[in-house]
Structure 1
Amino acid sequence: MGTSKKMVEAFRRFDEANAEDPNKEFFGEKEHPKELLYAQRMTDILNTFEPKASEALQLTVRCQHICRWEIPRESYEMNRVGYLKWRQKLKKFHAQKASSILKTVGYDDEIIDRVVFLLLKKQLKKDKETQTLEDVICLVFLKYYYDSFLEKHDDVKMIPIIQKTWKKMSPKGHQAALSLPYSQRGLELVTRALSN
């Protein structure tokens, strides 16, 4: 996977911004800023899943949650409508933050527009890179966050969540997801969700 000087600098600035996250997560016996760790995991999964990803997609994956804590979920109504409004606001917020950094680094409008297009998840299922981004997001969730999510929710709630996650993914994404190591309950729920 090629790495330009501009991309290295963009990654550094994305990471610098995400390092400000006041929310922490323990991993590998160490405390990490939550969104910084998420961004690094996104890049790791992309490198394995799509090693020939374009520069625009690599940039998008690294900044997909940039400074997410600045717009907390609690700032919107705690229902489905509030959740969807929050998600739409976040997409635009991430696009604006990323654009600002990419301009500062010296990227041209073509790359910036493409990153914004991907961050806004345009043409999911039709645009190959938008779909790859969605696959990576789902794989990161399943690999790193699924088991802790299971601890908070019962089977009745989890089955539809798994089914919705699966629906967003491509056949290639499904194949990668099925190769992940799951806990016993995690695997049982995936099996049940896919058999319904």
Structure 2
Amino acid sequence: MTTTPFQKAIALIDAENAQDPNQEISQSQSISKELLYSNRMYERLLIFEPNASEAIQIAAKAQHICRWKIARESYPMDRVGYLKWREDLKKFHAKTTASILEKVGYERTFKNRVSFLIEKKLLKKDVETQLLEDIICLVFLEYYLEEFIQKHDTEKLKNIILKTWNKMSEKGHQEALKIKYSASSLALIHAALGL
């Protein structure tokens, strides 16, 4: 069976993410943190938008590619340092992915489009950038909110939820309300959104 450039790209992204030394437990198995995140992004995308383009599928898969290579601690531990870290990460993820896409034979236009999406350009204006943001927010709410609840106070959490909500589309909001949350997460979401 012929392996398409898309299948090769996905396999290479998975291979990169599988090298993450940070492990998480999922379904009683230990798995590299970024590979798990990548799989969750991809699965959520295909549920939310079954007809998603190849570009957005790759962008979802590669959203955090090799993230562990740029540690948060290597930047000042303040708001400015955080924003600079996030900006540098987006460029790093886009560049790492573009190099994989080149290797498997994608054209420059396609590579540029994937980079555009990973860097989340024209949020709220570009339909696919907004779709990617919706997926990022849904994955956060479904899999990572609970972890945040353990670490932050209620006011900070309500602020995080509100910011997350404001980044999403109306379709994203509807999907977010279908997620099965713990009682504490649901209470917090309702409080943050005034529901």
**Could you say which TM-score interval applies, normalised by the shorter chain?**
over 0.9
What letter is aligned with 2:111?
I
Query: What's 1:155 paired with?
Result: 154
Gaps of 5+ in 1: none
Match of 1:115 in 2: 114
Q: CA deviation at 1:68?
A: 0.3
d(CA) in 2 for partners of 1:76, 1:67: 17
Cα root mean square deviation, aligned: 1.0
Deviations 1:73-117 (A, max 9, x none): 111111110000000000110111000000000000111010011
Matched, 1:49 2:48: yes
Cα distance between partner residues in 1 of 2:53 and 2:108: 16
Correspondence 1:71 to 2:66: no
Deviation at 1:5, TM superposition (A): 1.3
In structure 2, C-alpha distance between the alignment counterparts of 1:25 and 1:140, rounded to whole Å: 15
SS of residue paired to 2:30: strand
Percentage of matched positions with identical amino acids: 54
1-structure distance, mates of 2:114, 2:65: 13
* CA distance in 2 between partners of 1:87 and 1:153 (Å): 20
Write the letter of the residue equivalent to 2:117.
L
Residue 124 of structure 1: how far off its partner (Å)? 0.1
C-alpha displacement of 1:142: 0.6
Question: 2:77 and 2:182 mapped to 1: Cα distance?
Answer: 30
Does residue 1:20 correspond to 2:19, yes or no? yes
Does the alignment pair 1:129 with 2:128?
Answer: yes
Is 1:96 the counterpart of 2:83? The answer is: no
Q: Structure 1, residues 123-180: CA drift from partner, whole Å, max 9, x if none?
A: 0000000000000000000111111211111211100000000000000000000000
Measured in 2, the distance between the counterparts of 1:59 and 1:100 equals 13
User: What is the CA–CA distance in structure 2 between the aligned matches of 1:22 and 1:153, rounded to whole Å?
Assistant: 25
Q: Is the counterpart of residue 189 in structure 1 residue 188 in structure 2? A: yes
Q: Which residue of 1 aligns with 2:168?
A: 169
Cα distance in structure 2, aligned partners of 1:30 and 1:89:
31
Structure 2: any 5+ residue segments left out of the alignment?
Answer: none
User: CA separation in 1, counterparts of 2:172 and 2:109?
Assistant: 27
